[in-house]
C-alpha cells in the first residue's frame, strides 16, 4: 500500500533549484513545476518536472504581494494569493491568460478540494471557498481557539485540516487540527504550547496531504517537516534541519511521482531575504 511506502521512507534530496528571491509558491501540474518568487514584476517560473530545466515564465499582471500558490488539474490553471491587493490571481497554464477576483480579506494559504474549488485561508480566521472563476460558494468561520490560521486542506471525507499559531504574535498554541465539515469543532489535534519536542511546533505554517490522508507539516522555526497519521498522531520526521539551508516555508506533494517540494527560505533581519526549492523523494 502507498501509506506503507511513506512510513518506511526517509526524505532524500533529489534536486535543488538555484538560490534566488524568496519563494512564495511552489506547485506542479502535468509535466511542469511552477515556482513563484518575490520579484518586482510578478512572474511564475516554469520548469520541466523531470530535468528541472527552466522552460519559460508566466506573467501575473497587477500583482503586489504574494502569500501562496496552488494548481488545479481539472481547470489546468494556477492560483496565486495576493495579500496586498487582497485578491486571487488565476493564470491559465496554456496561453497564460490571467484574471483576478477580490477576497475582501487578507488571503493566506491556498488549496484545491475534490470539487475543484479553491479554498482560501484568511487572516480573519475564516476559510472561503471559491469556484474557479471567483464565485464565493461558502464561508466557514473557525472556532475562537484556532488563532492565526495559515493553511487549510479539505479531505475527501469533507473534514478539514488546519494549521495555526504565530510566534511573532505571541500565540500560546501552535498546532494542527482536524476539523468537522463545517469547521465548527476540533476532532483531533497535534501540538500545543510552542516548542521543539516531537509533539510541539514553532509556527506550523503549511500542509500537504497524501491520498491516504497522512499529513505533512512544515514547522518553520524548528526547521523540519513532520508526518502525522490521518488522526494526527505523530508518525515521524520527514525532513530534518540538516537537509535544509534555511526554513521550510511552503510544501507541495506530487503524488504521482512521490516528490515533496519545499520552499526553503531565508529569514533575516525581520524579513524574507532569499529562497530556493528543494525536492525530496518520499
For the chain, domains (ranges, CATH) are 23-109 (2.40.10.480), 142-259 (2.130.10.10)
**Which is more confident, 39 or 17?**
17
Q: What is the pLDDT of residue 64?
A: 87
Neighbouring-strand partners of residue 127: 121, 140
DSSP-derived secondary structure for 50-79: TT--EEEEEE-TT---EEEEEEETTTTEEE
The position carrying cell 489546468 is 76
Distance separating alpha carbons of residues 282 and 270, to the nearest angstrom: 32
Q: What is the pLDDT of residue 100?
A: 96
**Which is more confident, 276 or 10?**
276
Which grid coordinates are listed for 282? 518520499
Least confident of 7-11, 212-216, 244-248, 266-270: 7-11
Please say if the pLDDT value at position 1 is more than 60: no
Using only the alpha carbons of the chain, give its radius of gyration.
17
Mean pLDDT of 223-241: 97
Q: What is the pLDDT of residue 42?
A: 76
Q: Report whether 231 contacts 190 (CB < 8 A).
A: no
Mean pLDDT of 225-252: 97
Model confidence pLDDT, tens digit, residues 124-178: 999 999 999 999 999 999 999 999 999 999 999 999 999 999 999 999 999 999 9
Q: What is the pLDDT of residue 5?
A: 43
Mean pLDDT of 193-217: 97
Distance separating alpha carbons of residues 93 and 75, to the nearest angstrom: 9
Q: What is the pLDDT of residue 9?
A: 52
Average pLDDT over all residues of the chain: 94
Q: What is the dihedral of CA 169, 172, 241, 125, to 10 degrees?
A: -60
- With b meaning 16 or more CB within 10 Å and e meaning fewer, what string describes 217-253? bbbbbbbbbbbbbbebeebebbbeeebbebbbbbbbb
Mean pLDDT of 236-248: 96
Helix/strand/coil for 89: strand
Q: What is the pLDDT of residue 10?
A: 61
**pTM recorded for the entire structure:** 0.94
The two beta strands, 32-37 and 234-239, are: unpaired
Amino acid at each position: 500500500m502507498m501509506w506503507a511506502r511513506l512510513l518506511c521512507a526517509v526524505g532524500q534530496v533529489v534536486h535543488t533549484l538555484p538560490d534566488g528571491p524568496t519563494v512564495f509558491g511552489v506547485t506542479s501540474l502535468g509535466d511542469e513545476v511552477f515556482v513563484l518568487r518575490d520579484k518586482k514584476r510578478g512572474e511564475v517560473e516554469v520548469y520541466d518536472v523531470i530535468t528541472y530545466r527552466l522552460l519559460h515564465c508566466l506573467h501575473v499582471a497587477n500583482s503586489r504581494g504574494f502569500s501562496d500558490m496552488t494548481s488545479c488539474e481539472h481547470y489546468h490553471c494556477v492560483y496565486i494569493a495576493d495579500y496586498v491587493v487582497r485578491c486571487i490571481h488565476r493564470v491559465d497554464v496554456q496561453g497564460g491568460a490571467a484574471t483576478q477576483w477580490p477576497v475582501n480579506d487578507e488571503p493566506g494559504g491556498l488549496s484545491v478540494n475534490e470539487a475543484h474549488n479553491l479554498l482560501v485561508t484568511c487572516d480573519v480566521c475564516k476559510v472561503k471557498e471559491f469556484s474557479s472563476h471567483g464565485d464565493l460558494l461558502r464561508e466557514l468561520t473557525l472556532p475562537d481557539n484556532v488563532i492565526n490560521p495559515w493553511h487549510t486542506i479539505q479531505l475527501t471525507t469533507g473534514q478539514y485540516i488546519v494549521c495555526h499559531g504565530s510566534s511573532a504574535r505571541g500565540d500560546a498554541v501552535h498546532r494542527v487540527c482536524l476539523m468537522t465539515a463545517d469547521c465548527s469543532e476540533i476532532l483531533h489535534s497535534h501540538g500545543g504550547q510552542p516548542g521543539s519536542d516531537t509533539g510541539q511546533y514553532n509556527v506550523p505554517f503549511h500542509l500537504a496531504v497524501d491520498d491516504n490522508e497522512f499529513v505533512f507539516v512544515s514547522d518553520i522555526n524548528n526547521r523540519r517537516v513532520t508526518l502525522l497519521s490521518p488522526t494526527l498522531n505523530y508518525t515521524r520526521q520527514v525532513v530534518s534541519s540538516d537537509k535544509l539551508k534555511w526554513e521550510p516555508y511552503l510544501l507541495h506533494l506530487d503524488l504521482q511521482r512521490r516528490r515533496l517540494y519545499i520552499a526553503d527560505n531565508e529569514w533575516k533581519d525581520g524579513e524574507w531575504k532569499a529562497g530556493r526549492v528543494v525536492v525530496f523523494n518520499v
